[in-house]
Amino acid sequence: MNRLIIYNSGGTAAQIKAAADCYYKYSDATIYDAAGVTTGDITTYIGTLTDDYYHAIFICCTSQAAGATGLLSFDQVAALRAKMATGYKGTIVDSGTCQGNATTTDIILAATASGDDDAYNGMFIETAGTTAVLRYITDYDGTSTTCVVTDTTVAVTNIDTYEVYTNDYIYEFGNTNATSGKTAVLQAWDVLFPDITYPLINAYLGGYLYCWASGTASTAAAGTITIAATVSVGNRATQTQHDTDDFYEDMYVYIYSATTGAAQYAQITAYNATTRVATLAANWGITPTGTIVYRIIDNTSELYYDRAAEIMVKTYMYDIDSATTATLNRKFIDNDLSLKLPGTDEVNQDLNYLWTDFLAKGIAVFTADALGVV
């Protein structure tokens, strides 16, 4: 089986760990690091790949509408479809003849296409005729049967035929899943090891069911913080709990990032669900300002692990094609020895030592971060 892993060694820790996990599972995969590579050079690289060759492509870096250095554009993702082997190019979910279209960012499908909004989001559309294009569908309007795509230069007309495909074997892990809130590292794990519980480090990097609540604060004062009105996807708290007075009492609020005042935490002594104001046991050392991203957690160890996970993965796993990464990945994810590589004999005790060391480094990193030296 031929596989390709595309990642960015300068990306997020969750993206880097996702790539490392992919390589842990498929050590014979081809690896491409897009860090510092311009949009044009990424397009050139994709052009050098053999057509009809790959059985799976794992994209562990961000993809977006417009190309950028180190990232893939949606249409570059679409271009990878031609590189997939026969039988791995996805499933045709709709086909027909386009309706007349006056814009270059819309492709209007036949009236028989799905009437459900977003039905084709994240899929590919390929047209043939006057305007032959292969595009990634970023949005779909079921009422007008319109696919929103990157500019096609020339408007697709009603003499062009089309086919809409799924992208079953092109796995996009780099963007946070809008439905589940899972980041790259958990999306990758769901595909790679669907029957095995997330390792702790992946849970922290994934931000999934680790925080009770997280988001951007409205404001912060000396001894308070006003949190968001809704619970983010992937948080542990339900909206009903979030709407209950004093639900967060005795928990800790951690300032993940801010213009000033980042890397601080404080215990919550009261919570007003109407005003969303959390009252703290003590004033902030430095009142947070700017865009204040917070996380509400159970205890201080969690914030140390959270901070350490991000720093350590980006330090030690950025080069995923290395013996060091393979060893660290084995220790990080082989909790019950069920994932050990052939010929290895990991010891459970190693994992305990690793996490003890991990916590110590987390405390050091968090303290240094609070002082502005990380």
What's the confidence (pLDDT) of residue 101?
A: 79
Judged by DSSP in three states, 161 sits in: strand
Dihedral angle of Cα 320, 323, 326, 329, to the nearest 10 degrees: -90
Q: What is the mean pLDDT of the chain?
A: 85
% of the chain at pLDDT higher than 70: 88
For residue 163, CA distances in Å to 85, 136, 339 come to 18, 12, 40
Q: What's the average model confidence in pLDDT over 11-30?
A: 91
Asked if pLDDT for residue 158 goes beyond 70, the answer is: yes
Chain Cα centroid distance, residue 231: 18
Q: Residue 370 has what pLDDT?
A: 58
Rg (CA), the chain: 23
Q: Residue 344 — very low, low, confident or very high, per pLDDT cuts 50/70/90? A: very low
Instruction: List Cβ neighbours of 346 (8 Å cut-off, separation of 6 or more).
Output: 330, 331, 334, 337, 340
pLDDT, residue 274, reads: 97
362-347-357 Cα angle (round to 5): 15
pLDDT above 60 for 172? yes
pLDDT value for 359: 64
* DSSP three-state, residue 350: helix
pTM of the predicted structure, to 2 decimals: 0.78
- pLDDT of res. 4: 97
Q: Which amino acid is at 275?
A: T
